[in-house]
Amino acid sequence: MNKKILSAPYLLWSVVFIIIPLLMVFYYGLTDKSGAFTLENILAIATVEHSKALWLAIKLSIESTIICLILAYPLSMILSKLNVNQHSFIVFIFILPMWMNFLLRTLAWQTLLEKTGVINSILKTLGLPGINIINTSGAIILGMVYNFLPFMVLPIYNSLSKIDKNVINAARDLGANGFQTFLKIMLPLSTPGIISGITMVFVPALTTFVISTLLGGSKILLIGNVIEQEFTQTGNWHLGSGLSIVLMIFIIVNMLITAITDKDGEGTML
Partner 1 sequence: MRNALKKLYITLILIFLYAPIVTLIVLSFNKSKTRAKWGGFTGKWYISLFKNDDIMAALGNTLLIAFVSSLVATVIGIIACIAIQAMKKRSRSIVIGITNIPMLNADIVTGISLMLLFITLGIRFGFLTILLAHISFNIPYVILSVLPRFKALNPSTYEAALDLGASPFKAFMKVVFPDILPGVLSGFLMAFTMSLDDFIITHFTKGAGIDTLSTKIYSEVKKGIKPEMYALSSIIFISVLVLLFLVNYMPKENKKEIK
Residues 57-96 that bind partner 1 (CB under 8 A): 71, 74-75, 78-79, 88-89, 92-96
d(CA 104, CA 117): 16
Q: Which is nearer to partner 1, 174 or 270 (CB)?
A: 270
Name residues contacting partner 1, limited to 110-129 (CB under 8 A). Answer: 110-112, 114, 116-118
Cα distances (angstroms) measured from residue 103 to each of 65, 133, 211, 213, 231 = 20, 19, 8, 10, 20
Contacts of 226 (CB under 8 A, 6+ apart): 49, 50, 53, 243
209 binding partner 1? (CB under 8 A): yes
Which phi and psi (to 5°) does residue 269 adopt?
-75, -30
Shortest separation between residue 180's beta carbon and partner 1, angstroms: 18
Name residues contacting partner 1, limited to 153-192 (CB under 8 A). Answer: none
> Which span sits near partner 1 by CB under 8 A: 62-70, 130-138, 168-176, 208-216?
208-216
Q: Helices 187-207 & 237-261, crossing angle to 10 degrees?
A: 180
Q: Which is nearer to partner 1, 187 or 249 (CB)?
A: 249
270 binding partner 1? (CB under 8 A): yes
Q: Which is nearer to partner 1, 54 or 188 (CB)?
A: 54
Residues, the chain, total? Answer: 270
Query: Considering only residues 138, 162, 237, 261, which one is a binding residue for partner 1 as defined by CB under 8 A?
Result: 237
DSSP 234-246: I--HHHHHHHHHH
